[in-house]
Structure 1
Amino acid sequence: MTREPIATHRVAHVSDSHFTASGLMHGSVHVAATYSGALAALEGSGIAIDALVHTGDVADAGEADAYRAAAILTRETTQRTGWPVLWAAGNHDVRAAMAAGLLGEPATDGPLDRVLEVRGLRLVSLDTSIPGRVEGGVDEAQAEWLRSVLAEPAEHGTVLALHHPPVPVEVTAMARLHLEHQDRLEAALAGGDVRAILGGHLHYATSSVFAGVPVHVAPSTAYTIRLTRPAGGIIAVDGARAAGVLSLYDDGRVGYSPIPADPQHVLDSTPEDVFLAMGVDVEH
């Protein structure tokens, strides 16, 4: 009998919703609808989710109405599901407006670094935004803050959420807008209990490893970017949106599963009973 590892926690992951005060992006994308579609896909999956993480660019231009819209739509889901939410700031976000309009906190221009604990799992958001810039960074004070947070191990370890992911970037234009000071982040992670890093910013899904830690990047819920030839610029497309689910298992492993967020046509549906007589039993 095969024993599958048991997931102790599952974390839903969305990114780059790019809410606007007008409700539109590129003249035709209704960002509230595409974001709601991602949340509905997560909720409709039936997966037991412990928390929701948004890895930044919540709003496209930092407008107060955009943050209010994001807060209202998210709350409509979390009131049903009970999911706690951790927000990370992106380069399109404005810290003061995000703190006041989304986090319900006093407006501040300082980094929006936060910690959320869920049944022994520690979720940490690190604000890699640099006001007025597109690329990301980690300053010395943030690195020291993160090091102090990680000094005491959490029961089930830590998941780090940030907007600018420390991964190789395939789209040349986006590579120019990457995370700087990665050496500071690597040093802060050394000896800590971070099991996975969640990121956004790139508008396409990718995975890598940084400082021995798996990194998973969710595409935007607003629009996605095609992988292009070197120096091919950026091609934004209306489709291929997805959320993700990070699973943390009792044997120490982690897994990451994309959840398509665009409308889909179901081709077939086979009940679980059909598989019971097909092969190897699985022990959970």
Structure 2
Amino acid sequence: MRILHLTDTHLYGDPAARHYDRIDTAAALRGLLERLESLRGIDVVVHTGDASEDGTSGSYRLLHEILDPFAAALGAPLVVVMGNHDVSAVYGADIAPGQRLVERQDRVEELPGGGRVVVLDTSVPGAGYGHLEPEQLAWLGDVLEHPVPGGTVLAMHHPPLVAATALLRALDLDGLAELEAVLEGSDVQIVLSGHYHHAMTGAIGGIPVQVAPGVTNVVDPLAEGAHEQSLALSGASVVELGEGAPRVISAVHPNRGDVLGDLDAPVYRFTPEQVAQIVAAAGR
């Protein structure tokens, strides 16, 4: 299985809106896809959440207006996960109704060749951190009791990994031990996530975890001091599954939605005081 992994497009229903007053997120996505037009042999396109910034029907229609023909040209189905900026009820009612558990979008997408993508909605309304309800874990366990010939890819917005920065650690996923217990012994080959906006790898219960860089901006997890910053870049990953360990290829490019066009100017650079304010508003 060969997967194009996209994440964190943060689209708006209002075409004049700019992310951090700087990034035209639709232009960023279109520009990145132009760079990926030569890809071949992709079996599925997975978008791991924060598809929208404002949670509007218009933003989701725009997402599919851009991504549906791109995925169709690859001959690959498109799977979209909900993130903390998304509104699951809006997406489920207007765009892609699926199995609903505690107002979330959890579902199974069957793939050609006998594989599947299992989608978990880790979003918490009004918050930035991630959470899985016991009902969701029970549902996941029931799904994974029945392995499939092509194996399972688990897609969820919040990575089941400890974050690299103080801000992201306050906005990460809880209940990792409970999730690990469900995944143990299953046919899950890899967990795909977004949220952190930078490439990262790890594992949960011996299962590889891959975080793709963001489309709308890319976080610098090694910024100096206690500051947190993001750069005007757009990224994507290709994940190849087969014999042995997964092979992950990630790339970042200048953001084609950047209205300043200045790669040396961070999209944002938060002071420790600003980080504390964000954590108080959206953290656990």
- 1:30-60 CA distances to partner (integer Å, 9 max, x unpaired)? 1112112333333323x30000000000001
- Cα separation, partners in 2 of 1:127 and 1:108, compared to 1, 3 Å: closer
- The 5-angstrom pairing of residues 48-87 of structure 1 reads 48-87=41-80
Shift of 1:144: 0.7
- The 5-angstrom pairing of residues 146-165 of structure 1 reads 146-165=140-159
- Does the 8 Å contact 1:204/1:219 carry over to 2? yes
Q: Which residue of 181, 188, 193 maps to 1:194?
A: 188
- The 5-angstrom pairing of residues 210-249 of structure 1 reads 210-228=204-222, 232-239=226-233, 241-249=234-242
- The 5-angstrom pairing of residues 162-173 of structure 1 reads 162-173=156-167
The percent identity for this pair of structures is: 32
- The 5-angstrom pairing of residues 175-194 of structure 1 reads 175-194=169-188
- 1:175-223 CA distances to partner (integer Å, 9 max, x unpaired)? 1111001112111101111110100000111111111011110111001
2:280 corresponds in structure 1 to none
- Does the 8 Å contact 1:95/1:108 carry over to 2? no
1:258 matched to 2:237? The reply is no
Which segments of 5 or more consecutive residues in structure 2 lack a partner in the other structure? 257-284
Which segments of 5 or more consecutive residues in structure 1 lack a partner in the other structure? 1-8, 265-284
Shift of 1:127: 0.5
Q: Which has the larger radius of gyration?
A: 1
Shift of 1:147: 0.6
Q: CA separation in 2, counterparts of 1:263 and 1:237?
A: 9
Between 33-42 and 211-220, report the one with greater CA deviation: 33-42
Aligned residues: 253
Moved over 6 A (4+): 105-109
Q: CA separation in 2, counterparts of 1:74 and 1:101?
A: 17
- Cα separation, partners in 2 of 1:105 and 1:234, compared to 1, 3 Å: same
One-letter amino acid matched to 2:247: G
2:90 corresponds in structure 1 to 97
2:115 corresponds in structure 1 to 121
One-letter amino acid matched to 1:12: L
Between 226-235 and 54-63, report the one with greater CA deviation: 226-235
Shift of 1:231: 6.9
Tell me how large the CA RMSD over aligned residues is.
2.2
3-state SS in 1 of match to 2:92: helix
- Does the 8 Å contact 1:160/1:196 carry over to 2? yes
